[in-house]
């Protein structure tokens, strides 16, 4: 049984029972018995017959009463022979133990009801929270109502440590270091109670908030601690600090668990919204079809693996009827990759709009993108192509892009033309290469998501897959060539593990 607690009041029924127990032990040798509790009114019983007798000498004896090792009062006996008052003490002790046990049961039920009501109310209200700040403020305010503390705060993890997002009080700091020493004082999965002097000696940022002790619970995310719930000095009804109970610790742990669950849920929802927005923007940046240019047919597909990808294809008309094509692949498949994709596309198109050749387009793009790519720790593989209708001239420049392939009936060539990726050197002088496309020949540029697509047998689609698809189909148009490549790729590796982009340029017979 847990430690007994002293009752602050005794009901009339309680006092009647105590009086009956005491009265049953009055006899010729005991004139009066008085029960004096630690708090509350005393209960006294006396014999109805006068006790003053010839030769009788009254004495008084005080017997302390303990319930489960804690003093709860004393029994005072008056009479001639008081040895039998020990029996009264034993009977009264048994009754008090049962009464206190009942008190503990009722108190535990009330605590459990209050705890369940708090958690139910929090769960209901948290469902409507739009931000984690709303969740934190709700958790702190409701917990503080049930568990008054000198200070109560909830912290959220960020890039520099932990920021306070909600509090009841102003002593706890606005920020905590990521390496705050309080981490070394916590053990296990549940809420921990730490003495204030232990935190003060460790140099923790939160040490000054409590005089007695802290209750601290982690907000555990999927991969890391996403926050802290910190309560300083549990207050009793008189506003004085007392120890945190097992119920208090359980409440802190459960509220922290609810808050961490909502943190993860809101983060996933925000990421989903960001990906959806990035996907819409990205799809808007990918042209629906290729522009027409005399002497050539153009077909392409750009299919991100995820909601947001890094591949792009763009076209820019130049003076004299020439057409500039820029295609590339930004590392990654997330929102950051989609943002960098938009920046890379814009930089290459601006360079192409000034009438530059493919090599100059990549040089200008490298200068514009270098600083951003270094900060983002990313890179871009790119290809620049220019088609000149009057001379049927095809010139290309590559920046880390996979090799190009030229196909015509009875001919299949790989053009590995090199060039470093964008983001490595801002001043690299890219080389420009002229490709001789005979009438009916097809130029194929495929991203690594196509060439490195792995089949069930572990074989890469690669150059062999492209050649087999074109040799089998013998396409007479760029659209037919693209359809054949896509069909062969889907059969070889139905599930894409990377963005897939294919650009096909065919020189017409005209």
When pLDDT is cut at 50, 70 and 90, the band that residue 1 belongs to is very low
Nearest CA to 500 among 471, 490, 315, 474?
490
Prediction pTM value: 0.56
In the chain, where does the domain assigned CATH 3.60.40.10 lie?
A: 286-507
pLDDT of residue 41: 79
The DSSP string of 432-467 is -EEE---TT-EEEEE-HHHHT-B-TTS-B-HHHHHH
3-class secondary structure, 254? helix
What was the pLDDT predicted at 119?
Answer: 64
pLDDT mean across residues, the chain: 82
What superfamily does domain 286-507 belong to in CATH? PPM-type phosphatase domain (3.60.40.10)
| Mean pLDDT confidence for 156-181 | 87
**Does residue 300 surpass a pLDDT of 90?**
yes
Structure confidence by residue, pLDDT tens digits, 178-202:
888 887 777 766 678 888 888 888 8
Residue 55: per-residue pLDDT: 46
DSSP 89: H
Query: Does residue 477 have a pLDDT over 90?
Result: yes
Range 280-289, long-range pairs (CB < 8 A, 24+ positions):
281/338, 281/342, 282/308, 282/309, 282/312, 282/338, 282/341, 282/342, 285/312, 285/314, 285/341, 285/342, 285/345, 286/312, 286/313, 287/313, 287/314, 287/315
The CB-based long-range contact list for 183-192 (8 Å cut-off, 24+ gap) reads: 186/216, 186/218, 190/217, 190/249, 190/250, 190/253, 191/215, 191/216, 191/217, 191/229, 191/249, 191/250, 191/252, 191/253, 191/256, 192/216, 192/217
10: left (phi over 0), alpha (psi -120 to 50) or beta: beta
CB of 457 closer than 8 Å to CB of 451 = no
Which range of 89-103, 114-128, 425-439 scores highest in mean pLDDT? It is: 425-439
Q: Phi/psi at 103 (nearest 5 deg)?
A: -60, -45
Say yes or no to pLDDT of 439 above 70: yes
Which tokens in the block code for residue 304?
């991100």
Q: Where in the chain is the domain with CATH 3.30.450.40?
A: 129-269
Output phi, psi for 177, to 5 deg: -70, 150
The mean per-residue pLDDT over the stretch 361-373 comes to 89
| Segment holding 100, helix H or strand E | helix 85-126
Region 92-111 average pLDDT: 61
pLDDT of residue 306: 66
Q: Please check whether residue 347 is in contact with residue 362, taking contact to mean a CB–CB distance below 8 angstroms.
A: no
- CATH number listed for the domain at residues 129-269: 3.30.450.40
């Amino acid at each position: 049984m847990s430690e007994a607690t002293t009752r602050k009041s005794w009901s009339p029924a309680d006092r009647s029972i105590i009086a009956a127990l005491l009265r049953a032990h009055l006899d010729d040798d005991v004139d009066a018995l008085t029960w004096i509790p630690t708090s509350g009114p005393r209960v006294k019983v006396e014999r109805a017959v006068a006790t003053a007798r010839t030769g009788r000498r009254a004495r008084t004896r005080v017997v302390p009463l303990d319930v489960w090792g804690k003093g709860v009062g004393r029994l005072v006996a008056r009479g001639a022979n008081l040895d039998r008052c020990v029996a009264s003490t034993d009977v009264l002790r048994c009754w008090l133990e049962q009464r206190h046990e009942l008190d503990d049961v009722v108190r535990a039920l009330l605590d459990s009801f209050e705890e369940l009501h708090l958690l139910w109310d929090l769960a209901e209200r948290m469902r409507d929270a739009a931000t984690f700040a709303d969740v934190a403020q709700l958790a702190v305010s409701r917990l503080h109502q049930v568990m008054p503390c000198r200070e109560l705060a909830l912290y959220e993890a960020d890039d520099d440590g932990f920021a306070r997002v909600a509090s009841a009080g102003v002593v706890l700091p606005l920020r905590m270091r990521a390496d705050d020493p309080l981490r070394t004082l916590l053990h296990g999965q549940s809420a921990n109670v730490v003495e204030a002097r232990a935190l003060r000696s460790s140099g923790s940022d939160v040490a000054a908030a409590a005089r007695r002790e802290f209750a601290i619970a982690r907000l555990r995310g999927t991969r890391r601690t996403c926050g802290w719930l910190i309560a300083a000095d549990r207050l009793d009804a008189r506003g004085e600090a007392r120890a945190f109970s097992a119920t208090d610790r359980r409440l802190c742990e459960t509220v922290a668990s609810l808050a961490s669950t909502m943190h993860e849920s809101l983060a996933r929802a925000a990421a989903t919204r960001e990906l959806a927005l990035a996907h819409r923007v990205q799809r808007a940046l990918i042209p629906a079809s290729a522009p027409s240019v005399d002497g050539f047919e153009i077909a392409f597909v750009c299919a991100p693996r995820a909601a947001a990808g890094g591949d792009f294809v763009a076209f820019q008309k130049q003076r004299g009827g020439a057409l500039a094509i820029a295609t590339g692949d930004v590392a990654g498949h997330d929102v950051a990759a989609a943002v960098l994709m938009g920046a890379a596309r814009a930089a290459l198109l601006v360079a192409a709009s000034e009438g530059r050749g493919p090599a100059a387009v990549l040089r200008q793009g490298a200068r514009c993108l270098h600083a951003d790519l270094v900060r983002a720790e990313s890179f871009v593989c790119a290809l620049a192509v220019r088609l000149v209708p009057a001379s049927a001239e095809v010139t290309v420049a590559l920046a880390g892009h996979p090799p190009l392939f030229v196909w015509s009936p009875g001919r299949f060539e790989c053009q590995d033309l090199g060039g470093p990726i964008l983001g490595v050197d801002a001043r690299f002088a890219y080389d420009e290469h002229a490709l001789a496309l005979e009438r009916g020949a097809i130029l194929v540029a495929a991203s690594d998501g196509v060439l490195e697509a792995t089949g069930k047998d572990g074989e890469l689609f690669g150059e062999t897959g492209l050649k087999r698809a074109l040799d089998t189909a013998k396409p007479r148009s760029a659209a037919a060539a693209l359809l054949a490549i896509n069909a062969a790729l889907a059969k070889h590796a139905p599930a894409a593990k990377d963005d897939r982009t294919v650009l096909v340029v065919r020189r017409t017979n005209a």
